[in-house]
Each structure stands twice: as C-alpha cells, then as structure tokens.
Amino acid sequence: MKTGELLERIIRTREGVTESEALELSQCSTGELVGAAEKVTLACVPVKFDSCSIINAKSGKCPENCHWCAQSAHWHTDAPVYSLLEDGPIVEAALMCHEKGIGRFSYVTSGRKLNDAEVSALCRVSKEIKSKCGISLCMSSGLLTEDQLRRLHEAGVARYHCNLETAPSHFGKLCTTHDQEQKIETLKAALRVGMDICSGGIFGMGESEAQRIELAFTLRNLGTQSVPVNILSPIPGTPLGEMPLMSDEDILRTIALYRLIMPTAYLRFAGGVARLSDETIVKAYKVGINAAIIGDMLTTAGRDISSNVERIRQAGYEF
C-alpha cells in the first residue's frame, strides 16, 4: 500500500479509507499508523475542540446484563443506586457547565429505557435549561421509543447517545438481554425525529483490532459524527473485572485507525481516560481525539475541567 497516495486522497476528498484498506493499514507499525493519522487530523479536523459534560441522572439497578457495566443489577458492585434526580440539581449542573464554557450537557440514566413519566420530567427540565442558557442538550437513556424521542427533541434535546459498545460479531458475548440491532434502531429513530446521534464503543473488552475496525464501519454507515472512545475500566464484581488493561499503544492505534476511517468525525474521549498519562492524552489529541467528556464520568472518576483544558490547548486546539 502506498500510504502517501492514500493520505493525499483522504485529505482531498475528506472521505475515509475502505474496510479492506483499514485492515491493510492495521498491519502497519504503530509509528506509521500514528504518523498518518496525525497528518489527517491536522488537515481535516476543526481547530475548535468539542466539549461536553454529563450528569448521572438515574443510577443503578439496571435489568440489562452488560458485562462491563457497574450499574447492572446482575453484578455486585459499589455503584450508587438512586431514581431520577429532581429538576433542581440537573438544571444547576447544566448552568454550571455553561458558565465554564462547556458546549454540551447530557443526561445519562440507567436502565433499559425510561418510562413516560420520567421522559416528561426530563422534557420539563430541558425546557427550563433552554430558557436559561444556550448549552446544547444531549441524552443517553437506552432504548427509547420514537414517540419519546420526538417529545424530547421538541423540548430541546438536540442529540441522542446510544453506544454500540463493540463490533457486531463480539456484542453477543458481552450482553444477552438486548441486541445491537435494537440499539441501531433507536439511533435511527432519533435521526428520524431530527436529532443528531452520538455512538461509539468501549475498547479493551477482549475484541481484536479487526473487530475494532468492524465497529468503526458500523458507526460510519449509520452516519455517526460524534464517536465516544471509552477505554474499559475493569470494575470488580462485573464479568470483565479481571480484564487486563488496554495498553497505551493499542489505544493510540485504535484512535489512529478511527481517524483514518472517519476523517471528519468528532472522536470523543470518554470513560477510562483518567488512568492515562498526560503524554498519552496529548498524543491521542494529536492523533485524532478532537472532543471529550469533561469532568467526572458515570461511576469512575474523570479529570478536573482545568486540567482537561490545559491538555487540549497543549495539543493545539482552541477550547
């Protein structure tokens, strides 16, 4: 493969590599792969970094058996358990994020999906937030119906998040209470009602590099432009609690491949990043990460906002 010609084509067309080309690129050394992705990032990625923050608005006792998740009722973990938060704390968190310059704010709730009363509550919250500030609202609440998604969009929720988590060929080994097609249908329903979609994966769950590529093309075919990159944090009590940590090299290789497959997407650092060194984080920004969840994650600690902003600027982005 003539990598130079390939990079020239990506930069000229803003279109990513084919699946066969991606598989061929995966045979390259890490240095060559990362170098190629850096060039595409410089040429195709906006200098303005895309930031978001989340609130764990409903936690624990989820009936699904996702093997990676601390909030599943199937596993014994120390994850907090509470029902949907009152309006006040959610609105207050959104306003604080807006004051700190964060562009997006997302409600994240545990469970297969919300009931209609919970959707009504979050519609009410959304209208209040939108009346008080201009932050963009996102949401991650499982397998909502098209009607529920429409109500939320009309109330001000602009983007819906539902991670595909891993490759179609690997998902069934990690969850059996729902399938990936249900997630895909939820994302398609969100698109039909006028929302943007956000979907990515958790890496380091025993998948191969070829399966990481498989997931990337599944996401690209959905038209996903916001792709969360989560690194598995093995949580004691879950079936993946003893999984070896993904190496920094594998993390950078994955980001590089995703940038070459989706040259204009927002690759968004999410869970599991707190354990990475400053050097790896800055390198990841240069290789392709141009968005991030800022602040704490759901059940594991994130990095404080000021530290995140410093590293983002160090990598050459505007915040």
Domain boundaries, the chain: 18-314
Res. 300 pLDDT band, cuts 50 70 90: very low
The model's pTM is 0.94
What local confidence, expressed as pLDDT, does residue 112 receive?
Answer: 96
Res. 58 pLDDT band, cuts 50 70 90: very high
Res. 158 pLDDT band, cuts 50 70 90: very high
Distance in angstroms (rounded) separating the CA atoms of residues 221 and 205: 23
Q: Are 143 and 178 in contact (CB under 8 A)?
A: yes
Helix (H) or strand (E) holding 292: strand 289-293
Q: Are 153 and 195 in contact (CB under 8 A)?
A: yes
User: Is residue 27 predicted with pLDDT exceeding 60?
Assistant: yes
Distance in angstroms (rounded) separating the CA atoms of residues 233 and 166: 15
Which tens digits make up the pLDDT trace of 68-93?
999 999 999 988 999 999 999 999 99
> Average pLDDT of the chain?
94
Please compute the mean of the pLDDT values over residues 228-257 and round it to a whole number.
97
Residues 6+ apart with CB under 8 A from 308: 51, 292, 294, 295
Res. 311 pLDDT band, cuts 50 70 90: confident
Instruction: Looking at the structure, give the CATH architecture of the domain made up of residues 18-314.
Output: Alpha-Beta Barrel (3.20)
Res. 315 pLDDT band, cuts 50 70 90: confident
Residues 6+ apart with CB under 8 A from 292: 49, 50, 51, 52, 268, 269, 270, 273, 308, 312
